[in-house]
A and B are shown apart, each in its own frame.
Chain A
Amino acid sequence: MIGRIFGGLPPRARLLGAALVAVLLLVPLVADRYVVSVLVLVFAAAYLGQAWNIMMGFAGQLSLGHALYVGVAAYAAAALYVHFGIGPWAGLFVGMALAAAFAAVIGFLGFRFGIEGVHFALLTIAFAEFTRIGFDHIAWTGGAGGFFIPVSQVQFDLLNLRGGPTMWYYVMLVLMLAALALCRYLTRSRVGYYWLAIREDPEAARALGIDIFRYKMIAVVLSAAMTALGGVFTAFYYNNLFPERVFSINSSIDLILAPIIGGLGTLMGPIVGAFILTPVGEALIGVLEHLGLAVPGAKQIFYGLVLLAIIWLRPDGVWPWLARRLGVADEDRR
């Protein structure tokens, strides 16, 4: 497994990667709370983007309903914690299992009934919206009024995921790096090559004897389970859940911005995208506030302009171009 992850990397990429990780490990020692908290959001966005990228970037299945997996897992773990005192590490498995089950149903229906492209994307939206409205009416989890995890002043309680920015910084950093390693492993193993074949030409893949249905199902279930894990962690970070926010189409779109801007189907894409989008958005808000122009919507308009610019100028994303500049372009761009 280690060989699959680190083998084949150009020496320059190893060096740059190690340097970057070392810097990131040291940041909380020198940076102030604000920088740390922005980086927590960056890591979370990179992690969730990586999970979505498995489905769209690797296997070529456009899902616009990933908010569903974030939401059910987040609500499941939060409800178990608040109502029964069951810790998030146990709730995590319940949440991931639930999300995987949802994904299996959606994937089964979509792939068995031959729903593709835009129609498949709509199917995922429809399930997410359906669930959103459902959660608006579930009193056990607060309905439309929201569900809250009690805030505590504990600085470091990893077992219950209660803690300050520094703890969250390292938790999210580990998540992001673990997802990167897992995806690197997947893309260099049999299943990754099958996904690639299916993404590029499903008919040719079928002719080669690849069980398309099975490998698409693996992609959607794995992607959902990883997304669910991210959902649980972000829920315990924010301490509040609203169906309107968690399940909405906007949150599905937020989730896919980083991998698209960084580079769809690349391993570094979600990370690069998150590092561009989140800090620049935060900086923009800071500048606007300073100028007294902070109005709701300004940041989103900026995101919209970034999307247009990227899709016009670099439809493959920023990473393939950046990798060439850094001299680390390898078979990473698939």
Chain B
Amino acid sequence: MPFDFYVNLVSTGVLNGLVYGLMALGLSVIFGVIRVVNFAHGEMAVVAMYAAFVLFRGFGIDPLVSMVPIAAGLFALGYLLQAGLINPFVGRAEHEQFILLVGVAIILVNGLLMLYGPDARHADVSYGYDSFEVGPLLLDKVRVYAALAAFAVAVLLFLFFRFTRTGTAIRACADNLVGAAVIGLDVKHLYALTFGIGAACVGAAGALMILLTDATPMLAPSYTLLAFTIVIIGGLGSQSGALAGGVLIGVSESLASFFIAPSMKAMFSFGLLILVLLFRPQGLFGRRT
């Protein structure tokens, strides 16, 4: 039954892709509002993975639970980063922002390397090898839980931006910065909140990621690139685009892993990225500005 097999392959990709999408969502929110590209994004994801690993190993806390405090921790880290380090660089030359965040990225990833060494770390939850059977589908429990959690966080974020005063204020900053400042919004504080929210997304995504794959510090740059790829493909600044882009990349990875070779899966993502950059630079789901 080859058809069932393909369906399984695709659904695994979709589930992975939702977690990727949540990670990319963080990047998209930060760029969409602050117009700063977070080159330390994958590094933050891996910091969250290690946090989830430590909480699981040390205290037996399931990553599905620990994602809440981890997201809160990364929110604080993101808020402080933006308030203390990045705010003065808003509106400066792109390469200066880039260097600032590359500095942060280098410190984070090598800090992990110093603390935990280069070995892969894994959280072997009790249901790690269980699966749900839905008709012909065989879905790993960890993937289903992680994907559902990621989707829930994404929905919460969407509701936050749509229906809360703070969310509306942040959208105002994104739409018209001068106007937002004129009506008395505290832009610096809102920027710091935004970076915190983006970091919280990547924190939650990182905690979920430890369910799907082993953590090593060396994952960090590739996750930064993965998040970029997804965000560009989905459309910079588009929230639904980030999720959809994540799913697309998840499926492409899972198909490429099977049909070509697991080590070549990223090649397809980069190929897709190049095509999108050339032919639809606003992204598949974005609007041209």
Closest to A303 in B: B106
A127 within 8 A of B: yes
* Residues B278 and A113 in contact, CB atoms below 8 Å apart: yes
Q: How many angstroms from the CA of A249 to the CA of B266 in the assembled complex?
A: 14
A100 within 8 A of B: no
Question: Of A5-13, A86-94, A117-125, A203-211, which stretch is located at the interface?
Answer: A117-125
Chain B: interface size category: 35 or more
Q: How many angstroms from the CA of A249 to the CA of B42 in the assembled complex?
A: 13
Closest to B37 in A: A118
* Residues B277 and A260 in contact, CB atoms below 8 Å apart: no
DSSP class of B's interface residues: helix, strand, loop or mixed? helix
Q: How many angstroms from the CA of A134 to the CA of B261 in the assembled complex?
A: 12
Complex interface bits, A108-135 against B, C-beta within 8 A gives 1, otherwise 0? 0100011101110111011101100110
Q: How many angstroms from the CA of A136 to the CA of B114 in the assembled complex?
A: 27
When distances are taken between beta carbons in the complex, the residues of chain A under 8 Å from B277 are: 113, 115, 119, 122-123, 126
* Residues B94 and A62 in contact, CB atoms below 8 Å apart: yes
B72 within 8 A of A: no
Complex interface bits, B150-170 against A, C-beta within 8 A gives 1, otherwise 0? 000000000000000000000
Question: Of B97-105, B121-129, B202-210, which stretch is located at the interface?
Answer: B97-105
Known: A126-B273, A133-B263, A296-B118. A115 touches B107 (CB 8 A): no
Q: Which residue of A113, A133, A248 is within 8 Å of B267 (Cβ)?
A: A133
Q: How many angstroms from the CA of A307 to the CA of B225 in the assembled complex?
A: 21
B179 within 8 A of A: no
* Residues A115 and B281 in contact, CB atoms below 8 Å apart: yes
* Residues A56 and B232 in contact, CB atoms below 8 Å apart: no
Known: A117-B94, A304-B110. A260 touches B99 (CB 8 A): yes
When distances are taken between beta carbons in the complex, the residues of chain A under 8 Å from B112 are: 297
Q: How many angstroms from the CA of A126 to the CA of B233 in the assembled complex?
A: 13
* Residues B106 and A130 in contact, CB atoms below 8 Å apart: no
A179 within 8 A of B: no
Known: A126-B277, A129-B225. A301 touches B99 (CB 8 A): no
When distances are taken between beta carbons in the complex, the residues of chain A under 8 Å from B96 are: 311, 315
B111 within 8 A of A: yes
Chain A, range 308-323, C-beta contacts under 8 Å to B: 308, 310-311, 315
Q: Which residue of A114, A118, A137, A260 is within 8 Å of B261 (Cβ)?
A: A137
Question: Interface residue count for A (Cβ, 8 Å)?
Answer: 42
Query: What is the distance, in angstroms, from B3's C-beta to the closest C-beta of chain A?
Result: 29
Known: A126-B273, A253-B102, A301-B106. A119 touches B281 (CB 8 A): yes
* Residues B103 and A308 in contact, CB atoms below 8 Å apart: yes
Q: Which residue of A62, A119, A133, A249 is within 8 Å of B264 (Cβ)?
A: A133
* Residues A295 and B114 in contact, CB atoms below 8 Å apart: yes
Known: A62-B95, A113-B281, A296-B113. A304 touches B106 (CB 8 A): yes
* Residues A109 and B106 in contact, CB atoms below 8 Å apart: no
Known: A118-B94, A250-B221. A127 touches B274 (CB 8 A): yes
Q: Which residue of A117, A118, A264, A308 is within 8 Å of B104 (Cβ)?
A: A308
* Residues B95 and A264 in contact, CB atoms below 8 Å apart: yes
A25 within 8 A of B: no
Q: How many angstroms from the CA of A248 to the CA of B103 in the assembled complex?
A: 17
Known: A62-B94, A115-B278. A311 touches B114 (CB 8 A): no
Closest to A57 in B: B95
A305 within 8 A of B: yes
Q: How many angstroms from the CA of A296 to the CA of B110 in the assembled complex?
A: 8
Q: Which residue of A136, A300, A315 is within 8 Å of B110 (Cβ)?
A: A300
Complex interface bits, B2-18 against A, C-beta within 8 A gives 1, otherwise 0? 00000000000000000
Closest to B36 in A: A118
DSSP class of A's interface residues: helix, strand, loop or mixed? helix
When distances are taken between beta carbons in the complex, the residues of chain A under 8 Å from B89 are: 311
Chain A, range 110-169, C-beta contacts under 8 Å to B: 113-115, 117-119, 121-123, 125-127, 129-130, 133-134, 136-137, 144
Query: What is the distance, in angstroms, from B286's C-beta to the closest C-beta of chain A?
Result: 12
* Residues B107 and A305 in contact, CB atoms below 8 Å apart: yes
Q: How many angstroms from the CA of A305 to the CA of B270 in the assembled complex?
A: 30
* Residues A301 and B232 in contact, CB atoms below 8 Å apart: no
* Residues A298 and B114 in contact, CB atoms below 8 Å apart: yes
B271 within 8 A of A: yes
Q: How many angstroms from the CA of A234 to the CA of B256 in the assembled complex?
A: 34
Closest to A301 in B: B110
Closest to A248 in B: B221
B228 within 8 A of A: yes
* Residues A307 and B110 in contact, CB atoms below 8 Å apart: no
Known: A119-B281, A125-B225, A129-B225. A301 touches B273 (CB 8 A): no
* Residues B106 and A311 in contact, CB atoms below 8 Å apart: no
* Residues B100 and A311 in contact, CB atoms below 8 Å apart: yes
When distances are taken between beta carbons in the complex, the residues of chain B under 8 Å from A308 are: 85, 100, 103-104, 107
- 9 pairs of A and B residues whose beta carbons are closest in the complex: A304-B106, A297-B110, A307-B103, A297-B113, A304-B107, A300-B110, A308-B103, A297-B114, A133-B267
Q: A123-B274, A307-B99 are in contact. List 14 more A-B contacts (CB 8 A).
A: A118-B94, A119-B281, A127-B274, A129-B225, A129-B270, A133-B266, A136-B264, A137-B264, A296-B113, A297-B110, A301-B114, A305-B103, A308-B107, A310-B99
Q: What are 8 A-B pairs at a CB distance below 8 A?
A: A109-B278, A122-B232, A126-B274, A250-B221, A264-B95, A297-B110, A297-B112, A308-B104
**A interface residues with partner B (beta carbon < 8 Å):** 56, 62, 109, 113-115, 117-119, 121-123, 125-127, 129-130, 133-134, 136-137, 144, 248-250, 253, 260, 264, 295-298, 300-301, 303-305, 307-308, 310-311, 315
